[in-house]
Structure 1
Amino acid sequence: MIQTIAFDVGETLVRDDRYWASWADWLGAPRHTVSALVGAVVAQGRDNADALRLIRPGLDVAAEYAAREAAGRGEHLDDTDLYDDVRPALAALQALGVRVIIAGNQTIRAGELLRGLDLPVDVIATSGEWGCAKPAREFFDRVVDVAGTPRRSILYVGDHPANDAIPAAAAGLRAAHLRRGPWGHLWADAPQVRDTADWVIDSLHDLLDVVAGS
């Protein structure tokens, strides 16, 4: 029985449009160029930040992030960044008695911004706050700790198989691959995803049926 559902953030709950557009503007590159390069490195299985380093070789992403924050051009999140199904689906899951957690590879600042959205969730945590990041086993162990329910009763939902479904399953959690965003669509039908994920879903609303059937 699914008692807890934990969610990835980028391209699971939140569109990444603003994030990459802001980087393009900061680096003085066309937004389409950045978007295309992100897609290219994703298809190659590389780190997202490699797209930025292709534009500016040797870029220190952490230093540039700090510079953006200092210039008042740092991270921003509001309701327009959320996918349409986020609030209603999360609220419906809570109404069913499911413990709802947001836990992704985000900064401390992103955690603050997510809490400011007043989402219907029980816990919000980021890798920046925990000091460990997906796909490390330690990250998923922390998810188990904050869930407070048995490991096999926890479902982790995300769009990136290498960071979400595969390591979640390896850590003993249930896993759902969300067909959303570039990663989610690109790998939804990959044999490893189909063999590893307990469910492949197209919407967060599909999780209501998952819970009912578990």
Structure 2
Amino acid sequence: MIHTIAFDVGETLVRDDRYWAAWADWLDTPRHTVSALVGAVVARGQDNAEALRLIRPDIDVPAEYEAREQAGRGEALTEADLYPDVRPALSALREAGVRVVIAGNQTARMGELLRGLDLPADLLATSGEWGVAKPDPAFFERLAAEAGVPVAEILYVGDHPQNDTVPAARAGLRTAHLRRGPWGFLWADEPVVVESADYRINSLMDLVGITEG
């Protein structure tokens, strides 16, 4: 039985609509254009920041991020940004005795915003707070250390093969690939996902059945 489940954030718990819409508005570019470019770089297997570089080749993403924060147009998060199954699934898992961990590639600011939602989780941290990001094996080592359990006792849930299921599996964790968001849908049936994921799910509620099995 699985006793610890760790969750990615973007397009696993939180919709990325607001994130990309904010960048589109900041760069004075139509939102549908940014969405299309994100899809294009995803299909190429590139980092999603490449979408911003297609719009502005010389962009310094961290500097622009800071400029947005200074202008009062930085990261934001509300209950509406959560996928509908998040609270029911996390609550059901905790009620079943599963330890719930949230740990993804996000900024320290996003960590603050996530905590403000008071999600049903035992531990919440971001790569920005830890100073190490996926797919670095050190991220998963830190995750296990913070969770206080061996890596083999953690099930990591995410939508992105190259950031979630593949590196987590290589680090010794069990994995679940979520068919959600651009990466989740596009790569759902690729061999790399089939091979690296112990489970392939369509909803976070599917995890409740897994833990009860």
Q: TM-score, normalised by structure 2?
A: 0.99
Partner of 2:201: 201
Alignment of structure 1 residues 19-58 onto 2, 5 Å: 19-58=19-58
Alpha-carbon distance in structure 1 between the residues aligned to 2:137 and 2:58? 30
Partner of 1:157: 157
Alignment of structure 1 residues 123-142 onto 2, 5 Å: 123-142=123-142
Alpha-carbon distance in structure 2 between the residues aligned to 1:137 and 1:61? 24
Partner of 2:115: 115
Alpha-carbon deviations, 1:126-168, whole Å to 9, x = none?
A: 0000000000000000110111123222100000000000000
Partner of 1:4: 4
Alpha-carbon distance in structure 2 between the residues aligned to 1:66 and 1:149? 36
CA RMSD of aligned residues (A): 0.6
- Opposite residue 176 of structure 1, the aligned amino acid is A
Q: CA deviation at 1:196?
A: 1.2
**Unaligned 5+ runs, structure 1:** none
Alpha-carbon distance in structure 1 between the residues aligned to 2:91 and 2:146? 19
2:42 partner SS = helix
Q: TM-score, normalised by structure 1?
A: 0.98
Question: Does 2:84 correspond to 1:84?
Answer: yes
2:6 partner SS = strand
2:83 partner SS = coil
Alignment of structure 1 residues 68-107 onto 2, 5 Å: 68-107=68-107
Partner of 1:147: 147
Question: Does 2:158 correspond to 1:184?
Answer: no
Question: Does 2:210 correspond to 1:210?
Answer: yes
Alpha-carbon distance in structure 2 between the residues aligned to 1:195 and 1:131? 29
Alpha-carbon distance in structure 2 between the residues aligned to 1:148 and 1:54? 42
Alpha-carbon distance in structure 2 between the residues aligned to 1:99 and 1:171? 20
Q: Is the 8 A contact 2:140 2:151 kept in 1?
A: no
Alpha-carbon distance in structure 1 between the residues aligned to 2:29 and 2:200? 35
Alpha-carbon deviations, 1:42-89, whole Å to 9, x = none?
A: 110111111001001110000000000000000000100000000010
Alpha-carbon distance in structure 2 between the residues aligned to 1:127 and 1:111? 9
Alpha-carbon distance in structure 2 between the residues aligned to 1:134 and 1:58? 25
Q: Is the 8 A contact 1:3 1:149 kept in 2?
A: no
- Opposite residue 173 of structure 2, the aligned amino acid is L
Alpha-carbon distance in structure 1 between the residues aligned to 2:152 and 2:57? 43
Q: Is the 8 A contact 2:4 2:100 kept in 1?
A: yes
Q: Is the 8 A contact 1:104 1:126 kept in 2?
A: yes
Identity %: 72
Aligned pair count reads 213
Alpha-carbon distance in structure 1 between the residues aligned to 2:195 and 2:83? 27
Partner of 1:63: 63
Alpha-carbon distance in structure 2 between the residues aligned to 1:144 and 1:163? 17
- Opposite residue 93 of structure 1, the aligned amino acid is L
